Structure 1
């Protein structure tokens, strides 16, 4: 290879090796198929121009391939490996187009089309990139809008699972929400009526991905039905993490907190924390609880649950540093808004919150968290002052 110069047009911009199967993407740049397919699994931007790619069509550059093959044959005596035509490898984008075209023309049922797409995805990991375009996604999401045959639930389940499996890029999800303003409502309806746990879980996971890129309009004007379904999912232990992530997208808005509390989400979060030992689940649940306890209704529900304050205190120093700070903030909100409430102060002591808070001060957290802990301890001392009860703090904490 050192004896001959390789034309730069023959080299893949990613691997810098001679291309055996050159394909051109929408930006007009040609890459070796294997290299660009691996790239597109993790990044949806052109490697050279950095432009985002909404439609991912890989167009075979037959002319360039023939030129490279001819050049390699002529130069084999100089150590150049002969470039051969790919064997047994069809154009995946063409396959997808044919499947969709059959469905659009009514030559095959929607279920048959979904089965073919499902089988196509199962063939190889890289096939998913051929479905990561606007046309394919619009077809798949159209399956979610009031199917009209006896296989309704199966169709919805398969469509959602395919959508999740192909890991749609953010730009494509944004495009879907623009094209279909009712998409989120349609998925919420699916969660409500779907009978199988698998379908409900898939729908909630898809809904979570939609809320992660939706604008505030979709989040502020949230209907009660979604909070009913999120409560149901937490109770049934279905798609717990996606359900909690949806709550975190919605809970920063005041009216959503009221709706969540109204439909029992605070109780569900307490029960989850009481029973779960999964760190990430507990962290997300504490974060959601922190938002809900910013409103009076949320704090009241936490106190009304017999294990509410106890489980928040118990999770301190057991999950993560971030959840420690959120748990302290929950206790702080409860204390701050229940000044003079002896029952709250007594419960704080009984559930072991005082000892945990003192340990937090010793370990050292953020300045804001330490200040909140000191205010809580001061609140408790003031409550017990002048009563027969004595709040005993560890040595060095008497000043609070």
Structure 2
């Protein structure tokens, strides 16, 4: 059989495969829809792959003429086993979505609209971006913002949870995420807090994962105004261990919230320290352990956090145990936690407890291995701070005493 030659203008410049749904971008170059969507939306590129020019718009215009040429070529070469691909389903457009949102007035119509929106969002990333530009996030947020204090009509809760699921599925741009959290009174964050308090396990997870994305895109201002109830509910999700994704999202949300003193105190008062220590006792996954140690370090920079850590029977022990067992970053955070305790909360009983738990021996070991200069400096400072109580103790193994900084 003769080799079939595909005309070069039928080939997608990115994948070198034959186009099935050719679309033209703002630079005038035509690509296969699936491949250019991956380039723009998944890889988050804002340039044309061929010309390297900046994309003035992410709108993808169907190249109908080229698509028909390709389909005709497929038909002419059917005898060689080449199948003619079907005409792609028409893409949604902004006026179509705006009309759909305006019609969703009653609860019954809202649920019908939500099902249509979910179907649109599941088709491709171009639909998601079109939905975002047409005001879909604001529509979904308005459903979620309806207070749970009013009596629920039949299906009201499922409507709210459906809206939250779609909002997370949209994978909003940074601008879209910032718009959600931009409200001066943090209304949307409070709505998500209510979902965490009263929603299903799935909705609570979606609320946390969406909040993580919002915090990563946000300025500090709305995060500084977080209420105590927010921390209480995030810590409760951690305590309930809904799923690995929800746990990791909860940790990331708290890490984003706790560089500031007021939030550290609120996290401590919400019981975060006890939950984190309990989770660390059972966790071996590297990234999760790192996040827990980062968060413990942040909260222990407050007096309230240090008090809570020392209250937990396994607090000092598990922090010490994680040194040299997680990662270099994990070791640095664990030593930083012990440094905060040693410098600001080292009562005689705490100093003795650190000795009996093997914390002092672990710090001596740190000075003998390669674990970073900052970690070694902090370990050395801790040992010097309480050298009088620790240096001559039989609790420190003889092979490590040579490391003790005199």
Q: What TM-score do the two structures reach when normalised by structure 1?
A: 0.82
Change (3 A) 1:269 1:34: closer
Q: Does the 8 Å CA contact 1:292/1:298 hold for their aligned counterparts? A: yes
Give 2:189's aligned residue.
184
Residue in structure 2 matched with residue 269 of structure 1 by the alignment: 276
Contact 1:184–1:210 under 8 Å retained in 2: no
**Is it true that 1:217 corresponds to 2:221 in the alignment?**
yes
How far residue 373 of structure 1 moved from its aligned partner, in angstroms, is 1.0
Q: Which residue of 2 aligns with 1:331?
A: 338
Distance change >3 Å, CA 248–CA 4, structure 1 → 2: closer
CA offset at residue 250 of structure 1? 0.9
1:275–1:35 Cα change, 3 Å: closer
Tell me how far 1:26 sits from its aligned partner: 5.2
The CA deviation string for residues 46-100 of structure 1, in whole angstroms up to 9 with x for no partner, is 44156468x8543322244456667x59x98xxx99996x415302425x97566
Return the match for 1:168 from 166, 172, 197: 172
Deviation at 1:210, TM superposition (A): 0.6
Higher mean C-alpha deviation, range 326-335 or range 304-313: 304-313
Is 1:33 the counterpart of 2:40 in the alignment?
no
Deviation at 1:331, TM superposition (A): 0.5
Structure 1 residues 46 and 337: CA distance shift in structure 2, 3 A? closer
CA distance in 2, matches of 1:4, 1:376: 73
Separation in 2 of the partners of 1:27 and 1:81?
Answer: 35
The SS at the match of 2:31 is strand
Task: Give the CA deviation at 1:172.
Answer: 3.4
Whether 1:117 and 2:112 are equivalent positions in the alignment is: no
Pairs aligned (count): 387
In the aligned structure 2, how far is the partner of 1:119 from the partner of 1:102?
13
- Give the 3 Å change call, closer, same or farther, for CA 319–292 of structure 1 in structure 2: same
Report SS of the residue matched to 1:328: helix
Alpha-carbon distance, 1:347 to partner: 0.8
Question: Unpaired runs of 5+ in structure 2?
Answer: none
Deviations 1:295-347 (A, max 9, x none): 222112111222111111122222222111100110011111245x2211111
Post-superposition shift, 1:35? 2.2
CA distance in 2 between partners of 1:37 and 1:287 (Å): 36
SS in 2 for 1:362: coil
> Which deviates more from structure 2 when the two are superposed, residues 218-227 or residues 376-385?
376-385
Instruction: Point out the more displaced range, 319-328 or 157-166.
Output: 157-166
Judging changes above 3 Å, is the alpha-carbon distance between structure 1 residues 163 and 390 closer, same or farther for their aligned structure 2 residues? Answer: same
Aligned: 1:259 with 2:266: yes
Is the 8 Å Cα contact of residues 144 and 163 (structure 2) preserved in structure 1?
yes
8 A Cα contact 1:22 1:65, kept in partner: yes
Of 372, 383, 390, 2:378 maps to: 372
Aligned to 2:144, the other structure's residue is in SS state: coil
Contact 1:219/1:250, CA 8 A, preserved across alignment: yes
TM-score (normalised: structure 2):
0.81
Q: Evaluate the alpha carbon distance shift between residue 20 and residue 153 of structure 1 in structure 2; reply closer, same or farther with a 3 A threshold.
A: same
Q: CA RMSD in A?
A: 3.6
Shift of 1:369: 1.0
Give the corresponding residue for 1:202.
Answer: 206
User: 2:103: which partner in 1?
Assistant: 105
- Tell whether the 8 Å contact from 2:192 to 2:207 is kept in structure 1 after alignment: yes
Distance across 2 between alignment mates of 1:7 and 1:308: 66
- 1:59 aligns with 61
CA contact (8 A) 1:283 1:323 kept: yes
- Secondary structure of the residue aligned to 1:363 is coil
- Residue 111 (structure 1) shift: 1.3
Distance 1:184 1:27 in 2: 39
| 8 Å contact kept, 2:360–2:383 | yes
Does structure 2 conserve the Cα–Cα contact (< 8 Å) formed by 1:92 and 1:130?
yes
User: Which residue of 2 is the match for residue 89 of structure 1?
Assistant: 88
Deviation at 1:360, TM superposition (A): 2.1
Partner Cα separation in structure 2 for residue 202 and residue 301 of structure 1: 29
Distance in 1 separating the partners of 2:13 and 2:182: 34
Q: In 2 relative to 1, CA 57–156 (structure 1 residues): closer, same or farther, beyond 3 Å? A: farther
Q: Distance in 2 between matches of 1:38 and 1:375?
A: 51
* Equivalent in the alignment of 2:367: 361
- Structure 2 Cα separation of the partners of residues 200 and 43 of structure 1: 28
